[in-house]
A and B are shown apart, each in its own frame.
Chain A
């Protein structure tokens, strides 16, 4: 049997990431995830959407795919922007930001990696796909 999935198409407009989190909450309830698991997925999704909105440098839509597996939830955030090189993204540290010239932002990837069980990035000059997985622990 085909595994259930949900697909969203989001325009790049302020706070559209909250549509994705509302959908994630419904799916989390359907999968009987804990409140903490659901909140972590939503937070990671917010950050992935913001990255897609801000860094894709594209006016195209952002696509969100939720793939419901028996023992995990996979969330893909797909943009059609210019891509990025993950090896050039530095791990942020607050010690390098407070009282220093370094910009205070740039936490998105770090948060996604901390909150999800696995994260993969596929990126080229035609777009980026972030694939995030949360293992289900009932």
Chain B
């Protein structure tokens, strides 16, 4: 497993990916590889726990936009929780919150996705 991916688990038919470190091109590709594999297997709901990711760049976040686009094709959803304030602000500026959801906690994310 890529070092950026700390863990993956499934709960209530939601794939939960926990990240660790800098969300750059490599980090984004690591998330998308898991999502695309799960989509192929018929799973369409994803949550990203970003507690371990305090720094992002726009290239890594752009890969999340690609995942959003892929999920639209299969009526899927993606959400995020445990975001650092600057990560949340970046998602807002780039408009991700128009197509996906930021949650406060894992509990809220699992029930709200």
Contact = CB atoms under 8 A, between A and B. Distances in A.
Interface of A: 15, 17-18, 21, 35-36, 39-40, 42-43, 46-47, 50, 92-95, 97-99, 104-105, 107-108, 110-111, 114-115
B98 A94 contact: yes
B63 A95 contact: no
26 contacts: A15-B22, A15-B24, A18-B55, A35-B85, A39-B86, A40-B89, A42-B55, A42-B86, A43-B56, A43-B89, A46-B55, A94-B94, A94-B99, A95-B98, A97-B69, A98-B65, A104-B65, A105-B62, A107-B58, A107-B61, A107-B93, A108-B58, A111-B58, A111-B90, A111-B94, A115-B93
B60 to A, nearest CB: 10
Nearest to A110: B93
Interface of B: 22, 24, 55-59, 61-63, 65-66, 68-69, 72, 84-86, 89-90, 93-96, 98-99
Contacts of B93: 107, 110-111, 114-115
Centre residue among A47, A92, A98 by max chain B CB count within 10 A? A98
Q: Lowest 9 CB-CB distances: which A-B pairs, in order?
A: A94-B95, A39-B86, A107-B58, A104-B62, A104-B65, A105-B62, A114-B93, A46-B57, A98-B69
Give the dominant DSSP class at A's interface: helix
A127 B55 CA distance: 27
Given A39-B86, A40-B86, A110-B93, A97 B65 contact: yes
Given A42-B55, A94-B99, A111-B94, 7 more contacts: A47-B57, A99-B69, A104-B63, A104-B65, A105-B58, A105-B62, A111-B90
Give the dominant DSSP class at B's interface: helix
A100 B99 CA distance: 14
A18 B26 CA distance: 15
Given A43-B86, A46-B57, A18 B98 contact: no
B89 to A, nearest CB: 8
A128 to B, nearest CB: 18
Nearest to A41: B86
Contacts of B85: 35-36, 39
A98 B63 CA distance: 11
